[in-house]
Amino acid sequence: MKLHLLAIGVHPDDVELGCSGTILKHISIGQQVGILHLTQGELGTRGSAETRSSEAAEAAHILGVAVLENLEFADGFFKNDNEHQLKLIEVIRKYQPDIVLANALDDRHPDHGRAGWLIEEACFLSGLRRIETSHEGKLQDAWRPKTIYHYIQAYEHRPDIVVDISSFLEKKMEAIRAYKSQFYDPNSKEPQTFISTPEFMELVKARALQQGQSIGVKYGEGFNVRRQMGVKSLSDLI
């Protein structure tokens, strides 16, 4: 299955928090979208790898994505090296996405930045035909996504581009709440974390509101991009 957009997150819930409104928008116009998690989030303070897996499946169902995969890299200890790059290249070539959404290149959690750079490099290397990978016993063709957009996470980055998600915020919040073990639950006996306070969900909405306001709409999702962006004419930006 060829995907138009592949959203990659190092931990289950990264994609839902960072770019699920954009995912919903692309699905709404008939495009194929998939989600790839790099780890199972097994080092998370709350929940477990098994819990996160079932929560990820529920979130994917809510969003309506065509593909959900997990590469099961070691949470906290994966590396941006050739072993991990090759595994990621195999998935990129398998689905041949035109657009990749990826973790922030610099963020509070060191896994986020390391994953962001791993994704950047794997996407480039995936386009080199002399790097050989195979899937189900068949040699894969080289494939390089047209562009990579990094969603904004804990650190506040000025976005290079903002997507209008005004019609999709409530569904985005529903997908986030599928991760019941991770977010605010007054009945939970587990330790409180950065994202488990009731204020955190308000922050998610406030950021969407702020980013939307910056482009004159109600809600938005911001992204950073390393390459120079271009348009056919200034009218495309109206």
**Phi/psi at 60 (5° precision):** -65, -40
Which SS3 state, helix, strand or coil, does residue 225 take? coil
For the chain, what is the domain count? 1
pLDDT at 187: 87
Which SS3 state, helix, strand or coil, does residue 131 take? coil
The domain containing residue 202 runs over which residues? 5-226
- CB atoms inside a 10 Å sphere around CB 216: 9
pLDDT at 132: 97
pTM above 0.75, yes or no: yes
The answer to whether residue 115 sits within a structural domain is yes
The answer to whether residue 234 sits within a structural domain is no
The answer to whether residue 157 sits within a structural domain is yes
Spatial distance between the Cα atoms of 11 and 139, rounded to a whole number of angstroms: 29
The answer to whether residue 233 sits within a structural domain is no
Residue with tokens 């200890």: 77
Are the C-beta atoms of 92 and 123 separated by less than 8 Å?
yes
pLDDT at 158: 96
Cα–Cα distances (Å) from 7 to 60, 185, 204, in that order, read: 11, 27, 18
Please report, in tens digits, the pLDDT of each residue of the chain (238 residues total).
899 999 999 999 999 999 999 999 999 999 999 999 999 999 999 999 999 999 999 999 999 999 999 999 999 999 999 999 999 999 999 999 999 999 999 999 999 999 999 999 999 999 999 999 999 999 999 999 999 999 999 999 999 999 999 999 999 999 999 999 999 888 888 999 989 998 999 999 999 999 999 999 999 999 999 998 888 998 887 7
